[in-house]
Amino acid sequence: MIADIRPYQAFDLPGMYRVCLRTGASGQDATAQYRDPDLLGHVYAGPYPAADPGLSFVAADEQGVLGYVVATADSHTFDAWLETNWWPPLRHRYPLALAVDPGDGTQDRQRVEQIHTVRPPAPDPLYDRYPAHLHIDILPRGQGTGLGRRLMGVLVGALRERGVRGVHLSVGGANPGARAFYLRLGFTELERHDWGSVMVMDLD
């Protein structure tokens, strides 16, 4: 069956969290890196459809959610929304004091620290020029089939309809396949860091 692409529905969230986990180690399966299978999804998938409805799209087939793209049109507003609405209950759910690093290579402690990190609002020229940002993840069985291109096409169309002037994203240095994908789709590399790259696309 050819995967359908459709706007996110609330019932998609568990499937999206699974995709997030199974692609969360620089594009590879991160299941072994987390004792709590929801932590990655809480950070990288869950907040987007809640904060900015209409900019999350799901690819699904008969087996369920195969992939998704989630985005916000305005990263400044999104960060403020996280600080007011998303992080406080998660900080309560995941107390820092209980997040001990067991020293076995699992990353739960790092994600809980991320949830507890308060980022004061700051002017950011990247956010001004490229206000939107996104995350896209597809399970291995859906990769290399044009689904990533289709999901991005739907998202870019939705961002343009809203008059958003540009979109940025981060890609880790350990994920050269994703970097090649973004370049192929017309993104350019704006910044290179030791951890990876910031890539951008004009939507004007």
Ligand X SMILES: CC(C)(COP(=O)(O)OP(=O)(O)OC[C@H]1O[C@@H](n2cnc3c(N)ncnc32)[C@H](O)[C@@H]1OP(=O)(O)O)[C@@H](O)C(=O)NCCC(=O)NCCS
| 153 touches ligand X (CB under 6 A) | no
Stretch binding ligand X (CB under 6 A), from 4-12, 80-88, 132-140, 153-161: 132-140
| 72 touches ligand X (CB under 6 A) | no
**E strand or H helix at 86, and its extent?**
none
| 17 touches ligand X (CB under 6 A) | no
Q: Is there a contact between 119 and 55 (Cβ–Cβ < 8 Å)?
A: no
Footprint of ligand X on residues 177-196 (CB under 6 A)? 177-178, 180-181, 184
Nearer to ligand X, 166 or 196 (CB): 196
Q: In Å, how far are 120, 136, 181 from 193, measured between CA atoms?
A: 22, 21, 19
Q: What is the DSSP string of 93-136?
A: HS-GGG----SSS--HHHHHHHHH--------HHHHHS-EEEEE
| 54 touches ligand X (CB under 6 A) | no
Binding site for ligand X (CB under 6 A): 23, 27, 136-138, 143-149, 171, 175, 177-178, 180-181, 184
